[in-house]
């Protein structure tokens, strides 16, 4: 094993236990990296108990005092960027540049959390002579965040800084494929001065997640992962009367019009499709080619061909994921689609055993094919042909998902027409990965999200707090009025 065994991180330190162990492998070369515990309800209860004890003191601190810890955490993320990027690279497989980029996003969310004392100062209004109403955003208590493998640093940090800055105590259940970054995150938060118990990491899989959903003291849960599991977690958590926000999978459509800028569009489409080996919920899955855009398709092919697995393109997360993706490509080809760039035949440079798949471009895919409907989650772009803009919108609208959609054109009116009709929560105009930055929130529609509001940005503040409304009268004079005197 390249790393020592990873334990849960509870009450400010690694917590030994006698759980069954899960082995973690590196997608870069298939080697065993470490092991983690498959935590059960007992380990979850221990973390909840430490969090419950730590919560009252943390919640009673001023927002500014809490933000001071987050300021130090931000500096530590910056200071340890290279070390964290290496951990992400090794456990997730993405390139070092991609790993650094996700740390930058974690830093940006942390900066938003640092600004919360100024942005959410509460509201007060004199509603009647001498009578004022005041609203405070009060933390919920112990909360939990369940995260996927594809962004070991960014996705946990969509929730950690904001929930903690608002006064909650958080349990993180990272993906069992990427526990190293989560463990280091806990160490950095401790180094930043976060009191013990306010942030815990509980490793495991389905059993662990179910124990989190069922733990009575956990008040709110966010989940990010596949749609099938998002639905299960949403049902189970809300069935236990918890607040839940569950983000699921995606199938994003990029609608390309004949007047689109050739070089920018082709480069952007490929970057969206192949970045992080296509394992992004914001990745381009389908390019909807409207009319004659063959010059752009030609350039997409050239750029996709230039990507080198093992150098500019990371592996996918597991052997099983690679096999599943290849099955989809084989089936599409059998059904009559044309594989223009074939990633199945590419090997990873420098690694025989890595889970590599080259960038793949498949043209003349039809909407009824499984590869056009299902989330593939690999470096695969399918091209669907549409005769006009409304047909392209129809293709986008028929997807059960609704994370992101983008349009490539130089015509503002058409971009607006498509943006207004796309059935997705995040729209790009000449941008293939339209991630809204703070203070805007991240969140899709339809089967890409269950629950109200977005996971980051302003609306996340309402998710992680409850509002307390206080009505006070400060004048001593007795008055008749709506208060009934
Ligand atoms: P996943 O659903 O397999 O796992 C996500 C988390 O759920 C992990 O922590 C895992 O341990 C746990 N889990 C797995 N199976 C479970 C079960 N049956 N019951 C309870 N918990 C379970 O997802 P993944 O493969 O890690 O991540 C990829 C998926 O995440 C893709 O579908 C991708 O689109 C999605 N994703 C979505 C967003 C978004 O913002 N919408 C962001 C990132 C990733």
Q: Are residues 318 and 274 in the same domain?
A: yes
Distance of CA 246 from the midpoint of ligand 1 (Å): 10
Q: Name the percent of the chain lying above pLDDT 70.
A: 98
Which residues have CB under 6 Å of ligand 1? 146-150, 155, 173, 175-176, 205-206, 209, 224-226, 229, 232-233, 247-250, 281, 375, 377, 403, 444, 448
Map tokens 């004048």 to a residue: 475
pLDDT at 481: 60
What is residue 282's predicted lDDT score, i.e. its pLDDT? Answer: 97
* Ligand 1 center to 245 CA (angstroms): 13
216 phi, psi to nearest 5 deg: -60, -30
CA of 81 to the centre of ligand 1 (A): 25
**CB-based contacts of 408, cutoff 8 Å, min separation 6:** 254, 255, 256, 257, 260, 261, 265, 268, 269, 430
Query: Which tokens is 191 given?
Result: 């180094």
pLDDT at 478: 58
Return the pLDDT at 479. 57
Within 8 A by CB and 6+ apart from 193, the residues are 68, 69, 72
pLDDT of residue 474: 72
User: Which residue lies with its CA nearest to atom 33 of ligand 1?
Assistant: 249
Residues 399 and 417 in one domain: yes
Name the residue at shortest CA distance from atom 30 of ligand 1. 225
Residues 364 and 459 in one domain: no
Geometric angle at alpha carbon 83, from 72 and 281, rounded to 5°: 90
- Structure confidence at residue 252 (pLDDT): 98
Q: Is 223 helix (H, G, I), strand (E, B) or coil?
A: strand
> Which of 22, 91, 204, 226 to mutate for ligand 1's pocket (most ligand atoms within 8 Å of CB)?
226
Ligand 1 centroid from CA 279, angstroms: 11
Q: Which residues contact 255 (CB under 8 A, 6 or more apart)?
A: 288, 290, 386, 389, 392, 393, 396, 405, 406, 407, 408, 418
Nearest atom of ligand 1 to the alpha carbon of 448: 41
- Return the residue whose CA atom lies nearest to atom 19 of ligand 1: 206
Pair of tokens at residue 485: 């005197």
Predicted confidence at residue 456, as pLDDT, reads 98
Mutate to test the pocket of ligand 1, among 207, 225, 453 (most ligand atoms within 8 A of CB): 225
Residue 246: Cβ within 10 Å count: 26
On whether residue 483 sits in a domain, the answer given is no
pLDDT tens digits for 437-447?
999 999 999 99
Q: Which is the closest atom of ligand 1 to the Cα of 281?
A: 34
One domain, residues 238 and 256: no
CB-based burial of residue 356 (10 Å sphere; 0-12 exposed, 13-18 middle, 19+ buried)? buried
Any domain includes 476: no
Q: Average pLDDT in the 244-260 region?
A: 98
Atom of ligand 1 nearest to the CA of 375: 32
Q: Which atom of ligand 1 is nearest to the CA of 250?
A: 34
d(CA 150, CA 245): 18
- Binned at pLDDT 50, 70 and 90, residue 16 comes out as confident
**Integer CA distances (angstroms), 12 to 38, 45, 53, 63, 322, in order:** 20, 16, 13, 21, 38
Residue 483: is its pLDDT beyond 70?
no
pLDDT band at 21 (very low <50, low <70, confident <90, very high): very high
Q: Which of 114, 153, 246, 281 is catalytic?
A: 281
Using one digit for the tens of pLDDT, what is the confidence trace for 272-286?
Answer: 999 999 999 999 999
How many domains, in total, are found in the chain? Answer: 2
Q: Does a structural domain hold residue 439? A: no
User: Which strand ranges, in their side-by-side order, compose the sheet holding 465-473?
Assistant: 123-128, 131-139, 465-473
Residue in this structure with the two tokens 């889970």, named with its chain if needed: 355
Residue 482 lies in a domain: no
Query: In this predicted structure, which of 264-268, 351-355, 472-476 has the lowest mean pLDDT?
Result: 472-476
- With a cut of 70, say whether residue 99 has pLDDT above it: yes
Mean local confidence (pLDDT), 124-150: 95
Task: Please give the sequence-ordered ranges of beta strands (E in DSSP) within 291-377, or none if there are none.
Answer: 338-341, 360-363
CATH number at residue 38: 3.40.605.10
Q: In the numeric block, which tokens belong to residue 444?
A: 């899709």
Nearest CA to ligand 1 atom 38: 281
Nearest to 288 by CA among 280, 301, 297, 279: 297
What is the distance in A from the centroid of ligand 1 to the CA of 18?
26
User: Does a structural domain hold residue 18?
Assistant: yes
- Indicate if the pLDDT at residue 408 is higher than 80: yes
Residues 258 and 307 in one domain: yes
* Rounded distance from Cα 146 to ligand 1 centre (Å): 8
The label of the residue with tokens 């996705």 reads: 155
- Residue 177 CA: nearest ligand 1 atom is 26
Please tell me the predicted confidence (pLDDT) of residue 122: 79
Residue 225 Cα to ligand 1 midpoint, Å, equals 2
104 and 234 part of one domain: yes
CA 238 / ligand 1 centre spacing (Å): 18
Whether residue 71 is contained in a domain is answered as yes
CATH number (domain holding residue 338): 3.40.309.10
pLDDT of residue 477: 62
Residues 183 and 81 in one domain: yes
Q: Which of 221, 183, 185, 225 is nearest to 205 (CA)?
A: 225
Contact criterion met (CB below 8 Å) for 430 and 265 = yes
Residues 241 and 335 in one domain: no
Q: What is the pLDDT of residue 350?
A: 86
Between vectors from CA 22 to CA 198 and to CA 194, what angle results, nearest 5°? 15
Are 239 and 106 contained in the same domain?
A: yes
Q: What is the mean pLDDT of residues 404-417?
A: 98
**Cα radius of gyration rounded to whole Å, the chain:** 24
The DSSP bridge pattern shows strands 32-37 and 21-25 to be antiparallel
Question: Could you list the residue range(s) of the whole structural domain that residue 337 is in?
Answer: 252-429
In a domain, 162, yes or no: yes
Which band of pLDDT confidence, cut at 50, 70 and 90, is reported for residue 476?
Answer: low
Q: How many CA atoms lie within 13 A of 320 on its CB side?
A: 2
Give the ligand 1 atom nearest the CA of 149.
26
279 with 411, same domain: the answer is: yes
The residue to mutate among 98, 106, 146, 148, having the most atoms of ligand 1 within 8 angstroms of its beta carbon, is 148
Q: Token pair for residue 174? A: 């990272």
287 domain-assigned: yes
Task: Verify that 258 and 210 share a domain, yes or no.
Answer: no
Instruction: State which of 378, 397, 429 marks the end of a domain.
Output: 429
CB burial of residue 115 (10 Å; 0-12, 13-18, 19+): middle
Read off the pLDDT of residues 202-229 as tens digits, 9 standing for 90 and up: 999 999 999 999 999 999 999 999 999 9
Mark whether 281 is an active-site residue: yes
The whole-chain average pLDDT of the chain stands at: 96
Domain shared by 233 and 261, yes or no:
no
């Amino acid at each position: 094993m390249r790393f020592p065994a990873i334990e849960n991180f509870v009450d400010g330190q690694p917590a030994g236990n006698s759980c069954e162990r899960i082995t973690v492998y590196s997608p870069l070369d298939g080697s065993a990296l470490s092991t983690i515990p498959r935590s059960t309800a007992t380990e979850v209860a221990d973390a909840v108990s430490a969090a419950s004890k730590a919560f009252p003191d943390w919640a009673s601190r001023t927002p500014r005092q809490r933000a001071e810890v987050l300021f130090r955490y931000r500096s530590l993320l910056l200071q340890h960027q290279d070390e964290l990027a290496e951990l992400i690279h090794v456990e997730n497989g993405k390139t070092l540049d991609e790993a650094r980029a996700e740390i930058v996003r974690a830093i940006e969310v942390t900066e938003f959390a640092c600004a919360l004392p100024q942005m959410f100062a509460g509201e007060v209004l004199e509603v009647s002579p001498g009578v004022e109403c005041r609203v405070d955003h009060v933390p919920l208590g112990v909360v939990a965040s369940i995260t996927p493998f594809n962004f070991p640093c960014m996705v946990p940090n969509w929730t950690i800084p904001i929930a903690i800055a608002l006064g909650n105590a958080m349990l993180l259940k990272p993906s069992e494929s990427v526990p190293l970054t989560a463990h280091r995150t806990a160490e950095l938060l401790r180094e930043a001065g976060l009191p013990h118990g306010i942030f815990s990491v509980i490793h495991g899989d389905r059993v662990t997640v179910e124990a989190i959903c069922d733990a009575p003291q956990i008040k709110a849960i966010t989940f990010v992962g596949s749609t099938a599991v998002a639905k299960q977690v949403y049902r189970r958590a809300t069935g236990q009367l918890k607040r839940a926000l569950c983000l699921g999978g995606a199938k994003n459509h990029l609608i390309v019009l004949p007047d689109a800028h050739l070089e920018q569009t082709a480069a952007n489409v490929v970057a969206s499709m192949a970045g992080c080996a296509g394992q992004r919920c914001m990745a381009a899955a389908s390019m909807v080619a409207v009319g004659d855009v063959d010059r752009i398709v030609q350039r997409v092919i050239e750029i996709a061909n230039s990507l080198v697995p093992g150098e500019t393109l990371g592996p996918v997360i597991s052997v099983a994921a690679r096999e599943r993706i290849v099955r989809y490509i084989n089936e599409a080809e059998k059904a009559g689609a044309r594989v223009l760039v074939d990633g199945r035949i590419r090997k990873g440079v420098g690694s025989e055993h890595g889970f590599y798949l080259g960038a793949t471009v498949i043209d003349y895919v039809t909407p009824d094919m499984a590869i056009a409907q299902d989330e593939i989650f690999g470096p695969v772009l399918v091209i669907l042909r549409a005769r006009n803009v409304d047909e392209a919108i129809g293709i986008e609208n028929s997807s059960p998902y609704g994370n992101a959609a983008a349009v490539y054109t130089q015509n503002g009116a058409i971009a607006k027409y498509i943006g207004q009709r796309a059935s997705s929560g995040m729209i790009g105009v000449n941008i293939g990965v339209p991630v809204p930055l703070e203070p805007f929130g991240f969140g899709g529609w339809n089967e890409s999200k269950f629950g109200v509001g977005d996971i980051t940005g302003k609306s996340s503040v309402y998710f992680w707090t409850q509002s307390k409304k206080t009505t006070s009268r400060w004048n001593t004079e007795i008055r008749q009025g709506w208060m009934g005197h």
